[in-house]
């Protein structure tokens, strides 16, 4: 069962205690935080981005709760807002509902509302928020989403830029982008051996409108399938970048690239903090020495304090690892208090020569082999280990360079089987194994889609029937002259609800239709593909009196 997190904004101890008991009795909703003012609400929303409902007391902010609700709606339009109002009768509740809807709220509850009423209102609002977020995410991604990996340095000189370049080189698949986001001192263009005129800050003026064409016109092709988006040649131009522009660039890279690697350097500002926050993976690079490891621990703590990135979402990379180092990977993990995602060996003289001659993209070294074998496997979620034996790594690099230097005819002759040797077809039987799996996955997706359509149809039908019943109550009146509920009106409402429901929903009985003076609720049971398990689609409508 999906649990919806709720944020409560009230200064009233009575409201806090009352709703606290409601949350304690429910397994569908969880109280994420309780704050007393508008500043606390905005801070809590940044701290808990998965909040689905915000409950605002109209008495909050010294009686300016409606203004607070409007502020929350503007800051987070996909979060459902529920107002707590001091109203009791149907007329007062209708007036409170109208005022709440004007400021963007989805529903209202009275201060002394019971458990069932609160849960019913919360369920409707949570359902709306979930559907709205899913629709926006589907439209934003367009069915496609690449991976954005940020590489940051614990301090200057730990090799974060070189590692970002080699990660992009090892992961290139035809649409890989390397971005130098170290705006004040980025040097990836020099490592790649290219001269540039355009840079990433040229995209700052078109924030919110970064397209594939703009990315192509701003990037440079530095290798087969690898494009480079450089930092500005004049470091002071880095101040032109804004957090909004950084977020737009990250979103465009995720949509247009299979893999985007961003080098953000070792310093923090608002644009780089935005890139770190919205990246899919963040690699923090350090070296096996105490100053760099202490710096890594401070960086992780700073990101956590500023609500940029939680420690559990930061992956530690130990660069320039040598078996003779006094600081072992185990000691490094204890110092930083984070596990090491992967290690990269020290490249030695060969690697230093490739750096100094700007031939990192062409010259294979032990560092290239380590990143290709372990680094890409780590950021793609696969398990991988790398031997720390330098001789083994050197042999791997030598064999790779030897294969690269052979001509095409030599490679074909090497691949040709000898006389009498039977060639093994690596794809033999693969189709036979994969076909049932593909059919099973396709059938499962089809059944889930059909289940979702059926639930949505039932929810819409329940909503229409509840509105029809509420209209009947508003016209006929719920109470008689003595102030007692009119049984004939209740029965007529139930008949109108059943008439409004489709014919295949004949299983709805009186217990599924709740008729009150101020609202009508309808619950429809939906059969599922799992035998013995059913879903329920519930909806309620507020009664408006006919004058």
Phi, then psi, of 422 in degrees rounded to 5: -85, 125
pLDDT at 385 over 80: no
List pLDDT tens digits, range 49-58. 888 899 999 8
For residue 340, pLDDT over 60 is answered with yes
Q: Evaluate whether residue 52 is within a structural domain.
A: yes
Q: Is the torsion defined by CA of 231, 234, 235, 241 positive or negative?
A: negative
395 located within any domain = no
- Of the three residues 288, 321, 347, the one that is the final residue of a domain is 347
Alpha helices by DSSP H, listed for 212-317, are 212-218, 243-256, 270-278, 290-305
Q: 228 lies in a domain? A: yes
Q: Is the pLDDT of residue 421 over 60?
A: no
| pTM of the model as a whole | 0.47
Residue 329's domain comprises 147-347
Q: Is residue 158 part of a domain?
A: yes
Out of 112, 141, 170, pick the residue that ends a domain. Answer: 141
How is 20-85 classified by DSSP, letter by letter?
A: HHHHHH-SSEEEEEEESSHHHHHHHHHH-TTEEEEEEETTHHHH-HHHHHHHHHHH-TTSEEEEEE
pLDDT at 424 over 50: no
Phi, psi (deg, nearest 5) at residue 534? -125, 155
Q: Which of 152-161, 206-215, 439-448, 473-482 is predicted most confidently?
A: 152-161
Does one domain contain both 443 and 312?
Answer: no
Does any domain span residue 13? Answer: yes
Whether 311 and 168 share a structural domain? yes
| pLDDT score recorded for residue 276 | 93
Lowest average pLDDT, out of 274-278, 390-394, 511-515, goes to 390-394
Residue tagged 């496609």 (tokens): 144
Residues 168 and 293: beta-carbon distance below 8 Å: no
In a domain, 341, yes or no: yes
Residues 128 and 165 in one domain: no
Q: How much is the pLDDT for 401?
A: 42
Q: What percent of the chain clears pLDDT 90, i.e. is strictly above it?
A: 12
What per-residue confidence (pLDDT) applies to 154? 93
Greater pLDDT, 336 or 131 = 336
Q: Considering the chain, what percentage of its residues have pLDDT values greater than 70?
A: 83
Residue 135 shares a structural domain with residue 157:
no
Q: Judging by DSSP bridges, how do beta strands 226-229 and 220-223 pair with one another?
A: antiparallel
Asked if residue 232 and residue 182 are part of one domain, the reply reads: yes
- Number of folded domains in the chain? 3
Show the 3-state SS of 451-490. HHHHHHHHHHHHHHHHHHHHHHHHHHCCECCCCCECHHHH
> Per residue in 30-44, pLDDT tens?
888 888 888 888 888
Residue 35 in domain: yes
Domain boundary (347, 367, 388) is at 347
Neighbours of 348 (CB within 10 A): 14
Q: What's the whole-number mean pLDDT along residues 313-319?
A: 92
Highest mean predicted confidence (pLDDT) among 163-167, 352-356, 382-386: 163-167
Within a domain: residue 423?
no
**284 in the same domain as 263:** yes
**CB–CB of 10/34 below 8 Å?**
yes
H/E segment holding residue 403: helix 390-405
| Whether residues 455 and 325 fall in one domain | no
Per-residue model confidence (pLDDT) at position 206: 67
In this predicted model, what pLDDT tens digit does every residue of 245-267 receive, in sequence order?
Answer: 888 888 888 877 888 899 999 99
pLDDT at 433 over 70: no
Residue 117 has pLDDT above 80, yes or no: yes
For the stretch 118-152, pLDDT in tens is: 888 888 888 888 777 766 655 554 444 678 899 99
Say if residue 209 is in the same domain as residue 64. Answer: no
Q: How far apart are CA 166 and CA 171, in angstroms?
A: 8
């Amino acid at each position: 069962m999906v649990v919806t997190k709720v944020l409560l904004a009230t200064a009233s101890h009575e409201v806090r205690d009352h709703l606290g008991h409601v949350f304690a009795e429910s397994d569908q909703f969880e109280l994420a935080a309780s704050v007393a003012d508008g500043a606390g609400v905005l801070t809590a929303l940044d701290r808990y981005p998965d909040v689905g409902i915000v409950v605002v007391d109209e008495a909050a902010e010294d009686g300016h709760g409606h203004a607070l609700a409007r502020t929350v709606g503007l800051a987070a339009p996909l979060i459902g807002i529920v107002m707590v109002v001091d109203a009791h009768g149907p007329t007062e509740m209708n007036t409170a509902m109208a005022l709440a809807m004007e400021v963007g709220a989805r529903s209202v509850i009275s201060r002394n509302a019971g458990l069932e009423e609160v849960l019913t209102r919360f369920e409707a609002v949570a359902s709306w928020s979930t559907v709205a977020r899913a629709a926006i995410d589907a439209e934003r991604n367009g069915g496609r989403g690449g991976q954005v990996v940020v590489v940051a340095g614990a301090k200057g000189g730990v090799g974060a830029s070189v590692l970002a370049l080699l990660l992009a080189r090892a992961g290139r698949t035809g649409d890989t982008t390397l971005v130098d986001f170290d705006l004040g001192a980025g040097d990836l263009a020099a490592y790649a051996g290219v001269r540039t005129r355009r840079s990433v800050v040229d995209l700052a003026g078109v924030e919110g409108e970064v397209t594939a064409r703009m990315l192509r016109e701003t990037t440079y092709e530095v290798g087969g399938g690898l494009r480079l988006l450089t930092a500005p040649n004049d470091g002071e131009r880095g101040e032109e970048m804004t957090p909004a522009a950084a977020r737009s660039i990250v979103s465009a890279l995720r949509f247009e690239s299979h893999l985007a690697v961003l080098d953000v350097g070792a310093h923090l500002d608002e644009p780089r903090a935005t890139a770190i926050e919205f990246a899919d993976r963040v690699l923090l690079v350090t070296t096996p020495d105490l100053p760099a490891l202490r710096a890594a621990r401070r960086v992780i703590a700073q990101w956590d304090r500023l609500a940029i990135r939680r420690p559990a979402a930061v992956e530690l990379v130990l660069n320039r690892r040598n078996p003779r180092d006094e600081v072992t990977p185990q000691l490094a993990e204890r110092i930083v208090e984070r596990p090491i995602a992967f290690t990269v060996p020290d490249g030695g003289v060969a690697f230093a020569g490739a750096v100094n001659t700007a031939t990192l993209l062409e010259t294979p070294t032990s560092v290239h082999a380590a990143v290709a074998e372990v680094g890409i496997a780590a950021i793609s979620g696969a398990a991988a280990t790398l031997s720390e034996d330098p001789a083994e790594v050197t042999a791997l690099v030598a064999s790779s360079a030897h294969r690269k230097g052979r001509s095409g005819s030599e490679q074909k002759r090497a691949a040709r089987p000898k006389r009498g040797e039977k060639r093994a077809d690596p794809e033999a039987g693969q189709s036979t194994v994969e076909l049932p799996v593909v059919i099973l996955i396709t059938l499962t997706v089809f059944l889930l889609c059909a289940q979702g359509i059926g639930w949505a149809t039932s929810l819409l039908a329940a909503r229409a029937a509840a509105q029809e019943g509420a209209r009947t109550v508003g016209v006929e009146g719920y109470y008689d002259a003595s102030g007692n509920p009119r049984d004939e009106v209740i029965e007529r409402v139930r008949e109108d609800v059943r008439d409004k429901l489709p014919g295949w929903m004949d299983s709805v009985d009186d217990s599924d239709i709740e008729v009150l003076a101020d609202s009508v609720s309808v619950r429809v049971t939906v059969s599922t593909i799992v035998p013995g398990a059913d879903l329920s689609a519930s909806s309620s409508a507020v009664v408006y009196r006919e004058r």
